[in-house]
């Protein structure tokens, strides 16, 4: 348990912050203690100067009676020796007071109880000496009050430090334990993912802290990973099912060519069929590899700032005649749009695939409308809508799967990868693609982020 706590990042951070706070508390206490001692010492000096001045004022010229009486009365009033007094005569003889010795220097000094001839438990005194007439008056005060206040400050800081350490340890243990539980859940989820349980997700407590944000990001990554793995699995299944027929057909055609050659018959037509089948299979694999490259994010290195409007206008000019030849009408309406960071070739491929799908699968007389408009949240949307037969609701999510084709489209040319490529390009650019019923027909919307 202790080893786990020591390895816990929250516990270490709390310990580091606690040590920093204790160092700050110690520094603040040292400064406060020094300021308090300085203030108390200044007050003691002021009091001693006032006492000296009052006693000195009682001295009359050549009359020591009042001066000596005042010294003796002050000495008698301090039996605890908080204040000490001494009056010496012109020859240095002791005239009165509650101490028997004192520093001979004039002015301020510090003396111990032994130096003052005291056997009391007092330790140090602040002493002020000065001339009063032809006598020397000594007034002193004990540092007991200063030491007592300083002791209170130090004891308070020490007690506060101990209390803080106790609270910090409890808080560190609580935070570390709570954080470790959440980290354990992340580790357990990743272990489950490692075992192949791709549906596992990290529980999110919705505290909106950094661990929640991390968990949300990891869950998004896991969803993406699960989607890629499922996509690879689906590709394998689709290749096995959808390419089995053309491969069998290719094998059958080659076998017929061999038999015809042996019979002395012309095999040019059969070889042409075999070449067409091989070309179609090759195109399918190239499309699959292109989608895989896009989904890997390798094309992001080619991203740059570009405008979408000119791309749409170029495609309109290229496909308007194609649609007209097919008995359809292609229209365009593009509002001013913000530039985006993307790949021009891929975006051209995306919109071209959508237009080609509409032209290929809609009957004559259909109107195909291209449009682009901005929104209030700085995003913009490109739509390709038609009033054709549309796609059933149950099929709309499936058409983005690799090699998936609607039943009514299986007789038309294609390999079922056009919309898979569209989705891969959109996701590479951070865009979302949706299909909706345009009543009648289909409306494909591609929304780009700001």
Q: Which of 148, 171, 195 is the last residue of a domain?
A: 148
Q: Clarify whether residues 278 and 368 are in a common domain.
A: no
Q: Report whether 375 contacts 338 (CB < 8 A).
A: no
Q: Which bin fits 133, alpha (ψ -120 to 50), beta or left (φ > 0)?
A: left
Please indicate, yes or no, whether residues 35 and 133 belong to a single structural domain of this protein: yes
Q: Is residue 414 predicted with pLDDT exceeding 60?
A: no
Query: Based on the domain organization, do 437 and 357 belong to the same domain?
Result: yes
Q: Is 227 within a domain? A: no
Residue 408 above 50 pLDDT? no
- Average pLDDT along the chain: 81
Does any domain span residue 196? no
What pLDDT does residue 331 have? 92
Q: Which of 117, 148, 179 is the last residue of a domain?
A: 148
Residue 335 is given by DSSP the state: -
Instruction: Give tens-digit pLDDT for 346-399.
Output: 899 899 988 988 888 888 989 999 999 887 677 889 999 988 877 777 677 777
Instruction: From 130, 148, 166, give the residue that closes a domain.
Output: 148
Q: What is the pLDDT of residue 2?
A: 56
Same domain, 269 and 324: no
CATH assignment at residue 305: 3.30.565.10
User: Residue 206: pLDDT above 50?
Assistant: yes
Number of domains observed in the structure of the chain? 3
Question: How open is the CA angle 396-329-419, to the nearest 5 degrees?
Answer: 25
206: in domain: no
Residue 170 lies in a domain: no
Token look-up 């010229």 returns 61
pLDDT at 249 over 50: yes
Q: Around 392, how many Cα atoms within 13 Å sit in the side-chain half-sphere?
A: 7
| Cβ pair 420, 402 in contact under 8 A | yes
CA distances from 66 to 54, 139, 377 (A): 12, 17, 95
| Residue 85 banded pLDDT, cuts 50, 70, 90 | very high
Residue 410: pLDDT over 60: no
The verdict on 419 and 284 lying in the same domain is no
User: Which pLDDT does position 139 carry in this prediction?
Assistant: 93
pLDDT at 188: 87
Whole-number pLDDT of residue 1 = 52
Same domain for 138 and 248: no
* 420-428 mean pLDDT: 86
Q: Are residues 352 and 377 both part of a single domain?
A: yes
Whether 129 and 93 share a structural domain: yes
Which residues lie below 8 Å from residue 123, measured CB to CB, with a gap of 6+? 112, 113, 143, 147
The answer on pLDDT for 62 being more than 50 is: yes
Which residue segment(s) compose the domain that 137 sits in? 11-148
- Whether residue 198 is contained in a domain is answered as no
pLDDT at residue 411 is higher than 70:
no
Residue 237 has pLDDT above 70, yes or no: no
Question: 177 φ, ψ to 5°?
Answer: -65, -45
Q: The domain spanning residue 97 has which CATH number?
A: 3.30.450
Neighbour-count burial of 172, counting CB atoms closer than 10 A to its CB (0-12 exposed, 13-18 middle, 19+ buried): buried
CA distance linking residue 162 with residue 299, whole number of Å: 59
Residues 269 and 313 occupy one common structural domain? no
The mean per-residue pLDDT over the stretch 133-142 comes to: 89
Stronger pLDDT, 374 or 417, i.e. the higher one: 374
Identify the pLDDT of residue 376. Answer: 67
Is residue 338 located within the same domain as residue 423?
yes
Kindly state whether residues 432 and 346 are assigned to the same domain: yes
Q: What is the pLDDT of residue 238?
A: 63
**Between residues 72 and 270, which one has the greater pLDDT?**
72
Quote the radius of gyration of the chain (alpha carbons, Å). 48
Per the model's pLDDT, the better-predicted residue between 269 and 401 turns out to be: 269
Pair 26, 45 in one domain:
yes
């Amino acid at each position: 348990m202790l080893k786990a706590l020591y390895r816990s990042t929250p516990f270490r951070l709390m310990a580091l912050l606690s040590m920093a706070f204790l160092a700050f508390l110690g520094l603040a206490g040292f400064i406060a203690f020094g300021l308090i001692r300085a203030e108390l010492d200044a007050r003691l000096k002021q009091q001693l100067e006032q006492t000296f001045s009052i006693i000195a004022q009682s001295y009359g010229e050549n009359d020591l009676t009042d001066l000596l009486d005042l010294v003796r009365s002050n000495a008698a009033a301090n039996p605890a020796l908080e204040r000490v007094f001494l009056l010496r005569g012109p020859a240095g003889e002791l005239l009165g007071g509650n101490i028997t010795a004192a520093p001979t220097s004039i002015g301020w000094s510090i003396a111990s109880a032994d130096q003052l001839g005291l056997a009391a438990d007092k330790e140090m005194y602040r002493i002020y000496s000065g001339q009063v007439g032809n006598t020397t008056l000594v007034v002193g005060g004990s540092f007991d009050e200063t030491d007592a206040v300083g002791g209170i400050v130090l004891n308070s800081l020490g007690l506060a430090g101990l209390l803080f350490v106790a609270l910090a340890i409890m808080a560190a243990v609580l935070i570390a334990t709570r954080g470790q539980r959440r980290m354990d859940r992340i580790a357990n989820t990743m272990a489950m993912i490692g075992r192949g349980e791709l549906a596992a997700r990290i529980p999110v407590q919705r505290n909106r802290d950094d661990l929640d944000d991390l968990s949300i990001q990891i869950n998004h990554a896991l969803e993406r990973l699960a989607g890629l793995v499922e996509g690879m699995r689906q590709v394998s299944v689709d290749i096995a099912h959808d390419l089995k027929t053309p491969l069998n057909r290719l094998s059958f055609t080659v076998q017929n060519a061999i038999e015809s050659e042996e019979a002395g018959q012309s095999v040019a037509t059969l070889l042409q069929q075999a070449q067409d089948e091989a070309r179609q299979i090759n195109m399918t694999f190239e499309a699959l590899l292109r989608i895989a490259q896009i989904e890997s994010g390798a094309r992001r290195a080619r991203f740059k700032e570009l405008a979408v409007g000119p791309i749409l206008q170029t495609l309109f000019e290229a496909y308007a005649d194609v649609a007209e030849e097919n008995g359809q009408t292609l229209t365009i309406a593009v509002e001013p749009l913000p530039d985006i960071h993307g790949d021009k070739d891929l975006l051209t491929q995306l919109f071209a695939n959508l237009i080609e799908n509409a032209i290929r699968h809609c009957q004559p007389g259909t109107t195909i409308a291209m449009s682009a408009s901005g929104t209030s949240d700085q995003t913009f949307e490109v739509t390709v809508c038609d009033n054709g037969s549309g796609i059933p609701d149950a099929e709309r999510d499936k058409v983005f799967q690799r090699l998936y084709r609607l039943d009514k489209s299986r007789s038309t040319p294609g390999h079922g990868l056009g919309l898979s490529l569209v989705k891969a390009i959109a996701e590479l650019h951070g865009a979302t693609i949706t299909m909706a019923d345009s009543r009648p027909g289909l409306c494909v919307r591609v929304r780009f982020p700001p």
